[in-house]
Amino acid sequence: MSVPNTYRHLIAGASRDASDGALFDKFEPSNGRVMAQVAAGTLQDVDAAVAAARAQFDGGEWSRMPGAERGRLLLRLADLLERDAERFIELLAREQGRPVMEMRMLDLPVAIDTLRYFAGWADKLEGRQIPTGGFMGRPTLNYTVREAVGVAALIVPWNAPLMIACWKLAPALAAGCTVVLKPSEDAPLAVDALARLTLEAGFPPGVVNLVHGIGPTVGSALVEHAGVDKISFTGSTAVGRQIAQAAGPKFKRLTLELGGKAPQILLEDAVLEQAVGGLVMGLFVNQGQTCAAGSRILVHRRHYEDVVAALAEAARSIKIGDPFDPDTRMGALINARHAERVRGHIDRALNEGARRVAGDETLPVNGYFVRPTIFAGVKPSMGIACEEVFGPVGAVIPFDTDDEAVAIANDTPYGLSASLWTQNVAKAHQIAGRLRVGAVAVNAWAPLDARLPWGGLKDSGIGRDLSACALDAYLEDKVVTVVM
Ligand code: NAD
């Protein structure tokens, strides 16, 4: 497929260059070549996009559109995404360097399903009638109305750009918000195509706007902007903290989906043959570049050497390379700087005394590749066991008792997700209740679904994407009291 060379903003339904005409290069991870040039947004571009979103929210066609019609447009958008699935799969594989197989199995189906799920909510935003004892001796009728928060800035990361854009866009539009999307500079192409598809679906121009550009310029201008009421951000904990600091004094509504360091706990009674495939998936999907990456593998000592050997063998057998080869199971990391960072984590683990049992072979291909790597003999205090690597690197840690496993699992600043491998149902529920995370998967890794809330505790963020919880984050509850 030929990818257009230049990507521009989408503001009030029209393509726009950056106000100063500046562009930045987007590199293709699997070969290191420039694949596109993208508008480098400015403060003026952000102003224009927010003005377009405000015009639709404050009295535009969108502000008068019934929920059922908003739902119908979301369903149409889902149909168009399904129609164009192959185009999106190819765009994502090229801009992320990720195997097409993963896009086909995960990103596209979840994105489409998310649009359909929230379409169903758009005409069900019902308030409540609440009885009270009345007011100053007179009876009252009290009811709540659910109103859209306003203009939402949706700031998206590079690791699952289309899927996460849909996690934010779908509830925002179902609730009646208008939006300014800010894709990551490292993966802007599929989100750009999604925004343009909203016009074909029939969303009025200005409901969905998109400004490309560099995070500290465009993202931070959106966070500071007086015309933005709500920020939904997915990205690193460091940037999330900056956003919280900037948005706090302005009391902007915030959803922050941040980093993770998920434990995968294999209890003594787990069935190894069933668990190992899941552990490998949790470690290596998307080259380990997922917030939920199960990169801390806590194994009961009885199984420790067997699991280390099985993971090492699995890591060595993964076919790495061209994302368009249907046999490829691992692609490239997102950019040269990130691949260097991941190699830095590997070097540090070696210096700290961890034992590398897979991952030291040289790579046969160009591009930003890192071999799937497994470390044994890892102590919970080592960097590889505590820090988010965001690459294909697993740390295998032994434990002797369930209490010790829970203590190690919780001993991290993060609290996004965890996996637990066991045949003991009672134990599964008990341990799930003790893990300080937003999501626990028993005998699986991160089973994402639009109906299930997704988000974390502690340094993993505030609020939830997906499910009815995400809808709440784009709505305000207004109470009306009529004294009779
Ligand atoms: P990042 O924080 O570098 O960037 C995320 C987005 O924020 C990008 O669009 C970027 O342009 C923008 N940005 C950067 N600086 C900004 C600033 N000062 N103000 C406003 N916006 C700014 O993150 P990334 O490298 O794109 O993504 C990887 C991180 O995302 C990892 O830490 C991962 O765990 C996290 N993540 C979390 C979830 C989740 O659901 N919790 C999901 C996916 C990724």
**Residue 159 in contact with ligand 1 by CB distance below 6 A:** yes
Decide if 109 contacts 442 (C-beta within 8 A). Answer: no
Residue 3 has pLDDT above 60, yes or no: no
Residue carrying the six token digits 């294909």: 392
Short-list 369, 350, 370, 344, CA closest to 359? 370
Flag whether pLDDT at 4 surpasses 90: no
CA distances from 271 to 266, 274, 302, 423 (A): 9, 6, 12, 7
Predicted confidence (pLDDT) at residue 2 exceeds the cutoff of 90? no
Choice from 212, 255, 256, 291 to test ligand 1 binding pocket (greatest atom count within 8 A of CB): 291
**Is the beta carbon of 218 within 6 A of some atom in ligand 1?**
no
Give the pLDDT band (50/70/90) at residue 451: very high
Distance 139 CA to ligand 1 centre (A): 51
Residue 222 alpha carbon to ligand 1 centre in Å = 14
pLDDT(364) > 80? no
- Position 365 scores a pLDDT of 67
Q: State the virtual CA torsion across 462, 463, 464, 470 in degrees, nearest 10.
A: -150
Smallest Cα–Cα separation from 192: which of 112, 95, 115? 95
245 lines ligand 1 (CB under 6 A): no
Kindly state the percentage of the chain with pLDDT values over 90.
97
Q: Write out pLDDT tens, residues 13-23.
A: 999 999 999 99
pLDDT (tens digit, 9 = 90+) per residue, 380-405?
Answer: 999 999 999 999 999 999 999 999 99
Ligand 1 atom index nearest CA of 183: 9
Range 166-171 average pLDDT: 98
Where residue 222 falls among pLDDT bands split at 50, 70, 90?
very high
pLDDT digits (tens, 9 = 90+) for 203-218: 999 999 999 999 999 9
398 C-beta closer than 6 A to ligand 1: no
Residue 459: CB within 6 Å of ligand 1? no
Report how far residue 1's alpha carbon sits from residue 33's, in angstroms, rounded to the nearest whole number. 16
* 185 catalytically annotated: no
Question: Which residue's CA is the nearest one to ligand 1's atom 40?
Answer: 257
pLDDT at 139 over 60: yes
Instruction: Tell me the whole-structure pTM to 2 decimals.
Output: 0.97
Phi, psi dihedrals of residue 337, rounded to the nearest 5°: -65, -40
Note the pLDDT tens digit of each residue in 419-433. 999 999 999 999 999
227 CB near ligand 1 (under 6 Å): no
pLDDT tens, residue by residue, 18-72: 999 999 999 999 999 999 999 999 999 999 999 999 999 999 999 999 999 999 9
The burial class, CB within 10 Å (0-12 / 13-18 / 19+), for 132 is: exposed
Q: Which of 90, 95, 177, 291 is catalytic?
A: 291
Length of the chain counted residue by residue: 484
* 12/50 Cα distance (integer angstroms): 10
Strand pairing category for 23-27 and 34-39: antiparallel
Q: What percent of the chain has pLDDT over 70?
A: 99
Q: Which atom from ligand 1 is nearest to the alpha carbon of 291?
A: 34
CA 166 – ligand 1 centroid, Å: 16
Average pLDDT value over all residues in the chain: 96
For residue 282 and ligand 1, the question of a CB distance below 6 A is answered with no
Ligand 1 atom closest to the Cα of residue 239 is: 2
Q: Mean pLDDT, to the nearest integer, of 162-175?
A: 98
Per-residue pLDDT, 437: 98
